[in-house]
């Protein structure tokens, strides 16, 4: 197998992918359908969270600063869960790349999925590879103008559906849809839909393989994720060379099985020749393997002249992975990191509290000496109530034996925490002078549910006059 090319082995001419059939194409189509269905249907799924709560199953509510994922509700203070999810996704991508090269790029990357959709539309309107090439070479005519117009209208429709569906994850879908239909949508909603729609149209309709080769950084990073045991889509040089044209029924004794038909190049969405070895422009989609298998079948030759095999595999090596495929140190390391992230997130999720107390000691002044000789410290107390009902909480303070606790602006120490919000209180503690500082603990208890939350601070024993 030849060494990896240092530059994209792709011509600047327009790429006209050929329609092929096979296992890889079926998998790509399945991923495309599932991905588009999830994007478009996700905002319309309902989830009953009770009165006063949004019933959209998946929603990023920037107005209320909440994230809703089925039965999970995330507050801004808890968005480290989203960070953990993104880190886990990155490590999972490293793991998959170490095992199967750029399979993410070839099957599940949004750029690949939407490019597949747009190419399918193009093939449906203008025909397969040769028909599209012929159409583009023709002078402008009524038939050509109609086909081009229909194609771009279909592209625009797909782009608009993408933009609308994506934005609906950040606004209540039925409400936003009704506003769009009545032309009452806000400028922000309309602007973001236009932005995402235009991006989809440009990237999937016009950018295509250029986005994968020149804009995406992953092709330049993924080389560090793989080694000689990683499985990639590759050409079997030992079996295929020397290549030459052939006719049906002829003997292949003494020559390679590659008939130099170029079908693998025509099927490639980035326009590379897989027979040139591993290349940065290869996205690992396997369509070249489907195309080649079809040719091998017609000639009565074994399949998988192009297929999945280990990088830098020895001559004549089987395409099946070796025992070291999943026992390599980097694979084990990625898997353990992914497992650790999952455990940490599960433990953190299990310890989520519906009541949170935060106490901040005033800094200016840190303590006040009163006329009777006592010292007063002031605190800002914030209570986060995750329930969608208000709570009457009992405040308890430890470490201030003999002191007085006062909630500014009210009688007694009962605190009313507003529903589904953060409520702020001012609390003063008054004690006799002390030679230094003492630790103070504050705790709020909900007698109705038994929920409680605590926080620690300090009391400065010497006041400033």
CA distance 161 to 200: 10
Residue 11 has pLDDT above 60, yes or no: no
- Looking at the structure, do residues 108 and 210 belong to the same domain, yes or no? yes
Percent of the chain whose predicted confidence (pLDDT) is above 70: 94
Domain edge (last residue) among 351, 371, 391: 351
Residues 344 and 438 sit within 8 Å (Cβ to Cβ): no
Q: Which of 275, 337, 309 is nearest to 100 (CA)?
A: 309
On the question of pLDDT at 5 being above 80, the answer is no
Assigned domain for 56 exists: yes
Rg (alpha carbons) of the chain, rounded to whole number: 32
Residue pair 221/187 in contact (Cβ under 8 Å)? The answer is no
DSSP 188-202: HHHHHHHHHHHHHII
Task: Give the range of the structural domain holding residue 402, as residue numbers without chain letter.
Answer: 355-460
**Per-residue pLDDT for 13 more than 90?**
no
Task: Give yes or no: residues 255 and 364 share one domain.
Answer: no
Question: Against a cut of 0.85, is the pTM above it?
Answer: no
Dist CA 199 CA 269 (whole Å): 20
Tell me whether residue 221 is in a domain: yes
pLDDT in tens, 113-159: 999 999 999 999 999 999 999 999 999 999 999 999 999 999 999 99
Domain boundary (351, 367, 386) is at 351
What is the count of structural domains for the chain?
2
Q: What is the pLDDT of residue 317?
A: 53
Nearest CA to 233 among 316, 298, 290?
A: 290
Residue 342 falls inside a structural domain: yes
| Residue 6: per-residue pLDDT | 43
- Domain boundary, last residue among 351, 385, 407: 351
Is 37 part of a structural domain of the chain? yes
Contact 392, 400 (CB under 8 A): no
428 exposure class (CB count in 10 Å sphere: 0-12, 13-18, 19+):
middle
Same domain, 334 and 393: no
Q: Considering the domain boundaries, does residue 312 fall inside one? A: yes
Residues 292, 428, single domain; the answer is no
245, 191: one domain: yes
Q: Where are the alpha helices (DSSP H) in 261-328?
A: 263-267, 287-298
Instruction: Identify the CATH number of the domain in which residue 420 sits.
Output: 2.60.40.10
Q: What gap in Å lies between CA 440 and CA 429, rounded to an integer?
A: 10
Q: pLDDT tens-digit profile of 242-252?
A: 888 988 888 88
Neighbour count for residue 122 (Cβ, 10 Å): 20
State the pLDDT at residue 324: 67
Residue 417 pLDDT: 92
Whether residue 380 sits in one domain with residue 337: no
> Per the domain annotation, does 244 fall within a domain?
yes
> Phi first, then psi: what are they for 455, rounded to 5°?
-155, 155
Whether 465 maps to a domain, the answer reads no
Which residues fall within 8 angstroms of residue 321, CB to CB, at 6 or more apart? 229, 231, 310
Q: Judge if 265 and 327 occupy the same domain.
A: yes
Classify residue 286 as exposed, middle or buried by CB count within 10 Å of its CB (0-12, 13-18, 19+): buried
What residue has token string 């890889």? 24
Q: Are residues 148 and 214 in the same domain?
A: yes
CB 88 within 8 A of CB 345: yes
334 within a domain of the structure (yes/no) = yes
Torsion over CA of 185, 189, 191 and 197, rounded to 10 degrees?
-110
More confident residue, 194 or 247: 194
Tell whether 301 and 401 lie within a shared domain: no
pLDDT at 313 over 70: no
Inform me whether the pLDDT recorded for 8 exceeds 60. Answer: no
Per DSSP, the three-state class of 7 is coil
Residue 10 has a pLDDT of: 43
Distance, CA of 29 to CA of 32 (rounded, Å): 5
pLDDT at 7: 44
Q: Give the end-to-end CA distance of the chain in Å, rounded to a whole number.
A: 83
Same domain, 291 and 412: no
- Tell me which residue of 394, 461, 388, 432 sits closest to 48, measured CA to CA: 388
Position 43 pLDDT exceeds 70 = yes
- Span 287-295, mean pLDDT? 94
């Amino acid at each position: 197998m030849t060494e990896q090319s240092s530059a994209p082995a792709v011509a600047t001419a327009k790429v006209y992918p050929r329609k092929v059939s096979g296992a890889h194409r079926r998998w790509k189509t399945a991923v495309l359908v599932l991905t588009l269905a999830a994007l478009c249907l996700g905002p319309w799924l309902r989830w009953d969270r009770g009165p006063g709560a949004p019933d959209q199953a998946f929603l990023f509510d920037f107005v209320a600063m909440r994230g809703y994922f089925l039965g999970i509700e995330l507050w801004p203070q808890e968005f480290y869960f989203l960070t953990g999810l993104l880190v886990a996704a990155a490590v999972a991508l490293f793991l998959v790349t170490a095992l199967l090269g750029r399979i993410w790029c070839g099957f599940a990357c949004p750029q690949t999925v939407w490019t597949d959709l747009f190419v399918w539309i193009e093939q449906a309107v203008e025909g397969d590879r040769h028909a599209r090439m012929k159409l583009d070479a023709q002078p402008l005519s009524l038939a050509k103008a109609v086909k081009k117009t229909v194609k771009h209208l279909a592209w625009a429709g797909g782009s608009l559906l993408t933009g609308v569906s994506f934005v609906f994850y950040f606004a209540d879908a039925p409400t936003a849809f009704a506003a769009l239909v009545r032309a009452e949508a806000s400028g922000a909603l309309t602007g973001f839909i236009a932005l995402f729609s235009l991006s989809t149209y440009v990237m999937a309709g016009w950018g295509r393989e250029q986005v994968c080769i020149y804009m995406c950084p992953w092709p330049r990073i993924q080389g560090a994720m793989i080694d000689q045991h990683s499985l990639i889509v590759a050409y079997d040089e030992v079996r295929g060379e020397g290549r030459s044209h052939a006719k049906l029924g002829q003997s292949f004794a003494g020559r390679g099985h590659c008939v130099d038909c170029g079908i693998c190049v025509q099927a490639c969405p980035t326009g590379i020749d897989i027979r040139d070895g591993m290349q940065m422009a290869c996205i690992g989609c396997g369509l070249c393997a489907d195309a080649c298998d079809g040719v091998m079948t017609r000639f009565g030759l074994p399949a998988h002249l192009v297929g999945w095999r280990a990088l830098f595999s020895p001559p004549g090596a089987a395409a099946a992975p070796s025992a070291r495929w999943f026992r390599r140190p980097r694979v084990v390391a990625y898997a353990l990191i992914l497992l650790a992230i999952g455990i940490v997130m599960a433990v953190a999720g299990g310890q989520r509290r519906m009541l949170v107390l935060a106490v901040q000691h005033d800094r200016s002044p840190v303590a006040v000496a009163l006329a009777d000789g006592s010292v007063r410290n002031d605190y800002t107390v914030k209570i986060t109530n995750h329930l969608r009902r208000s709570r009457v909480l009992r405040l308890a303070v430890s470490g201030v034996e003999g002191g007085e606790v006062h909630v500014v602006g009210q009688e007694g120490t009962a605190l009313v925490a507003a529903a589904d919000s953060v409520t702020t209180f001012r609390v003063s503690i008054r004690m006799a002078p002390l030679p230094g500082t003492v630790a103070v603990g504050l705790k709020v208890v909900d007698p109705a549910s038994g929920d409680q939350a605590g926080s620690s601070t300090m009391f400065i024993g010497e006041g400033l006059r």
